[in-house]
Amino acid sequence: MRHRSLLLLTTALTAGALGLSACGSRDDKGSDNGERGGGRTTVVIGLDAPLTGDLSALGQGIKNSADLAVKNANKSNEVPGVTFRLTPLDDQAQPTSGQQNATKIAGDAKAVAIIGPLNSSVAQSMQQVAQSNTIALISPANTTPDLTQGKDWKQNHRKRQFTTYFRTSTTDEVQGAFGGTYAHEQIKAKTAYVIDDQKTYGVGLASSFSATFTSLGGKIVGTEHVNPEDRDFKAIVSKAKSTHPDLVFYGGEYPASAPLSQQLKESGVTVPLMGGDGMYSADYITLNKKSAGDYATSVGKPVEQLDSAKKFIADYKAAGYKDRYEAYGGSTYDATWAVVQAVKAVTAENGGKLPDDARAKVVQALNKVSFPGVTGPVSFDQYGDTTNTMITAYQVEGTAWKARYSAAYKR
Amino acid sequence: MHELPQQLANGLILGAMYGLIAIGYTMVYGIVQLINFAHGEIFMVGGFGALTAHLALPDGTALALALPLMIAGGVLASVTVAVAAERFAYRPLRGAPRLAPLITAIGLSIALQQAVWKWYPDAKKARVFPQFKGESLHLLGATVQRGEIFLLAAAPLCMLALGLFVTRTRTGRGMQATAQDPDTARLMGVNTDRIIVIAFAIGAAFAAVAAVAHGLKYGQVDFRMGFITGLKAFTAAVLGGIGNIYGAMLGGVVLGVAEALATAYIEDIPGMSQFGGGSWKDVWAFVLLILVLLLRPQGLLGERVADRA
């Protein structure tokens, strides 16, 4: 009897744990906008982002912004006869979950496109699935150049990798170069200590920063690599301290960079920490009491400063979402709206009805999409990258990020 | 080499935290030969217990005043979970093959993580933990953060208290007797069930103290923090000689110092530059563990005992 009760207990616990994690992914069923019937076609737009876990602040902003775009499209009847529905799935920033989600969305016959993911490492696992199912994958946040241009982009051998992959955010080549230039010319740093988190995004950003910073005459006084799950950076901080840098650069995301920055300052390294868009989150400031003076670059102009974004901000507020739109709200809205526009073009061509091979047609239409978006003009180049290369540098002032400088970068 | 005092301090502080958690692994193993893999989560629950206590206090309470209550809250949460785990998950398995409680421990670990993730408010991402205000202190050529002073004071005090408890009290001697031979101890009138519960409770209380220290040090607690830290603490317990309480603390400190020194100095060895730095520190820590186990299979302070299984 004892053994049986043990078995029951173990089973119950394991099942409970599994059940709970499953609950997580079922957490948000998205906004069902109601299929009004009467000959209307429902088109599903899938979404993959980290809705829970460390990066959920960014992920929730992505989900809400896509939801807003879908609601606006339905409300204004943007595509006559078509009702859009968003299916958001949680990847917890894990490549394996991202791949499963992509497969799941591709299995839905009504789905024409996937918005997401947040992480470049997750995108790598989703691209092939999207390609083999001829379904468009549009990321509002991936910045690794390899995703669109292949691994030899540094030697200028650029080649489009996946015809179904697009993104509305600029690449790390642009962002890192902007960061390197900004650090050297505006922060006036002569030396930098560079740390990355060994993830696709972090390594790419850090190497692009280093290349530009040194080409301008700056000196990299040391490099380090950390594990993204680490929260104790004391040993690395002590090493950095002995090199007396003017600036510490971190290629990675805010869950690790917040404690890193705090430990730097507590150990007497009083220079600012600089990072990319993975660090540009309000949570970076709440998790780090010594964040004042730190820098982050992020793609696009500050949404608050753009006339084109006023409506987005007002709508977002009016919709009453619990979480902020964060770094990728604008680019997500644009990515979702690009899908809406592609569907519009495809249905118009087909006499007002969605064609049978809608997915392939939508992919083709996306290459030709062009409209004024939240973050500026939206269109894609021959690699699937956005043609908008605007980057902004932000600095922590008090308890908020303040925009310091924006510029477009030319390749 | 001028950063050596700082690196030793970094390692010592990190190691003291590993050591406090390792006590829980080692005490439970010493008495029931169970590797309680859910102990990392008991540590995590302690952190959330302390955070809850802090949130329950009126805003603006000085942290120095709140700290005893936070420790009490953390200890209460950890001990409750550990004692419940012992009673409902491990005790029914006392006579079962060794694998059964081990798998149960892993299941329990996942269940506890997911329970906090699901039901603790806003715990789906890291939650901010209060920290001491003010600049860091300079001691003997090293910079020490204010929150770390707590750890440096708490670890030796806890060890002293535990040492006295085990050697000087009736229950402590009963504990030693149960560890040596549970059947004979029972025949001599020792209530072994009670002893086992106390071992779980002490381990959990120490883990809660470590969790408060973790929160003060890093300014955040999250539902996954017990996994990696728990694994490291388990390593520390094995390194020091599992079953030996002083070994657990020594193993923790050795592991912490090894990690800090590996991060700082391995790359200075000619020809080893690509094997150094933060990304390789865990590799070197485990190389050390393997070397110690090859030369002294019983661990640094462990005694060679016949397997009782």
Tens digits of residue pLDDT in A153-204: 888 889 999 999 999 998 988 899 999 999 999 999 999 999 999 988 899 9
Of the candidates B88, B93, B264, which has its C-beta nearest A238's C-beta?
B264
Does residue B305 belong to the interface with chain A, where contact is any CB pair within 8 Å? no
Residue B34: list chain A partners with CB under 8 A.
none
Cβ neighbours of B253 (radius 10 Å): 23
pLDDT band of B308, cuts 50, 70, 90: very low
Q: What is the DSSP string of chain B?
A: -TTHHHHHHHHHHHHHHHHHHHHHHHHHHHHH----TTHHHHHHHHHHHHHHHHHHSPTT--HHHHHHHHHHHHHHHHHHHHHHHIIIIIGGGTTS-THHHHHHHHHHHHHHHHHHHHHSTTTTSPEE-----S--EEETTEEE-HHHHHHHHHHHHHHHHHHHHHHHSHHHHHHHHHHH-HHHHHHTT--HHHHHHHHHHHHHHHHHHHHHHHHHHHSEE-TTHHHHHHHHHHHHHHHH-TT-HHHHHHHHHHHHHHHHHHHHHGGGSTT-GGG-SGGGHHHHHHHHHHHHHHH-TT-SS--------
Q: Which two tokens stand for residue A116?
A: 């997401």
Domains held by chain B: number: 1
Q: Which of A170-179, A271-280, B88-97, B134-143 has the lowest mean pLDDT?
A: B134-143
Q: How far is CA B299 from CA B36, B239, B279, B302, B304, in A?
A: 19, 5, 26, 5, 9
On whether residue B301 sits in a domain, the answer given is: no
Residue A224: list chain B partners with CB under 8 A.
277-278
pLDDT of residue B276: 78
pLDDT of residue B273: 77
Question: Residues A129, A164: contact at Cβ < 8 Å?
Answer: no
Residue A361 has pLDDT above 60, yes or no: yes
CB contact under 8 A, B260 and A234: yes
pLDDT for A373-397, tens place per residue?
998 889 999 999 999 888 999 999 9
Of the candidates A24, A54, A226, which has its C-beta nearest B126's C-beta?
A54
d(CA B240, CA B293): 10
Which class for B23: exposed (0-12), middle (13-18), buried (19 or more C-beta within 10 A)?
A: buried
Strands A390-397 and A295-299: antiparallel
For A272, which DSSP code? P
Residue of chain A minimizing CA distance to B127: A287
Q: What is the DSSP string of A21-67?
A: HHHHHTS----------TTPEEEEEEEEE--SSTTHHHHHHHHHHHH
pTM of the model: 0.82
Q: Which among A299, A276, A295 has a CA at the least distance from the CA of A285?
A: A295
Q: Which amino acid is at A348?
A: A
d(CA B98, CA B252): 26
Residue of chain B minimizing CA distance to A52: B124
d(CA A85, CA A69): 10
Q: How far is CA A304 from CA A84, A300, A318, in A?
A: 27, 11, 16
Mean pLDDT of B19-33: 93
pLDDT band of A30, cuts 50, 70, 90: very low
Full residue range of the structural domain in which residue B116 is found: 13-224
A172-299+391-408 belongs to CATH 3.40.50.2300: yes
pLDDT band of A221, cuts 50, 70, 90: very high
Q: Nearest C-alpha of chain B: how many angstroms from A176?
A: 22
Q: Which long-range contacts (CB under 8 A, 24 or more apart) does A18-24 make?
A: A20/B111, A20/B114, A20/B115, A20/B117, A20/B118, A21/B114, A23/B118, A24/A52, A24/A90, A24/B117, A24/B118
Residue A11 has pLDDT above 60, yes or no: no
Of the candidates A225, A229, A266, which has its C-beta nearest B145's C-beta?
A266
User: Rg for chain A (alpha carbons), in Å?
Assistant: 22
A 52-81 residues inside an 8 A Cβ radius of B: 52-57
Question: Residues A277, A141: contact at Cβ < 8 Å?
Answer: yes
pLDDT for B226-279, tens place per residue?
998 999 999 999 999 988 999 999 999 999 999 999 988 888 888 777 787 888
Q: Which two tokens stand for residue A212?
A: 């530009």
* Beta strands, E only, A51-190: 82-90, 111-115, 136-139, 165-167
Instruction: Note the CATH architecture for domain A35-170+306-380.
Output: 3-Layer(aba) Sandwich (3.40)
Q: Which residues contact A310 (CB under 8 A, 6 or more apart)?
A: none
The H-or-E segment that residue A221 falls in is strand A219-225
Query: Given its phi and psi angles, is residue A82 left (phi above 0), alpha (psi -120 to 50 degrees) or beta?
Result: beta
Of the candidates A5, A239, A268, which has its C-beta nearest B136's C-beta?
A268
Which residue blocks in A268-328 are alpha helix, DSSP H? 282-286, 310-319
pLDDT of residue A411: 59
ipTM: 0.84
Place of tokens 């080499």: B1
Which site among B4, B8, B10, B63 would you substitute to test the A interface, given the most A Cβ atoms closer than 10 Å to its Cβ? B10
Residue B6: list chain A partners with CB under 8 A.
238, 241, 267
Q: Nearest C-alpha of chain A: how many angstroms from B5?
A: 10
pLDDT for B159-212, tens place per residue?
999 999 999 999 999 999 999 898 999 999 999 999 999 999 999 999 999 999
For A297, which DSSP code? E
Q: How far is CA A38 from CA A41, A349, A384, B126, in A?
A: 9, 22, 36, 47
CB contact under 8 A, B111 and A17: yes
Question: Residues B203, B28: contact at Cβ < 8 Å?
Answer: yes
Residue B137 has pLDDT above 70, yes or no: yes
A 178-237 residues inside an 8 A Cβ radius of B: 195, 198, 224-227, 229-236
CB contact under 8 A, A53 and B136: no
Of the candidates B107, B125, B128, which has its C-beta nearest A17's C-beta?
B107
pLDDT for A43-81, tens place per residue?
999 999 999 888 888 999 999 999 999 999 999 999 999
**How many residues in total does chain A contain?**
411
pLDDT for B71-86, tens place per residue?
999 999 999 999 999 9
Q: Which among A271, A270, A277 has a CA at the least distance from the CA of A251?
A: A277
Looking at per-residue pLDDT, the higher value among A290 and B141 belongs to A290
Q: Where are the domains of chain A?
A: 35-170+306-380, 172-299+391-408
pLDDT of residue A66: 97
On whether residue B136 sits in a domain, the answer given is: yes
Q: How far is CA B143 from CA A269, A324, A369, B265, B277, in A?
A: 11, 37, 56, 19, 21
CB contact under 8 A, A238 and B7: yes
d(CA A50, CA B266): 36
pLDDT of residue A20: 46
Does residue A2 belong to the interface with chain B, where contact is any CB pair within 8 Å? yes
B 245-304 residues inside an 8 A Cβ radius of A: 259-260, 263-264, 277-279, 281-282
CB contact under 8 A, B220 and A239: no
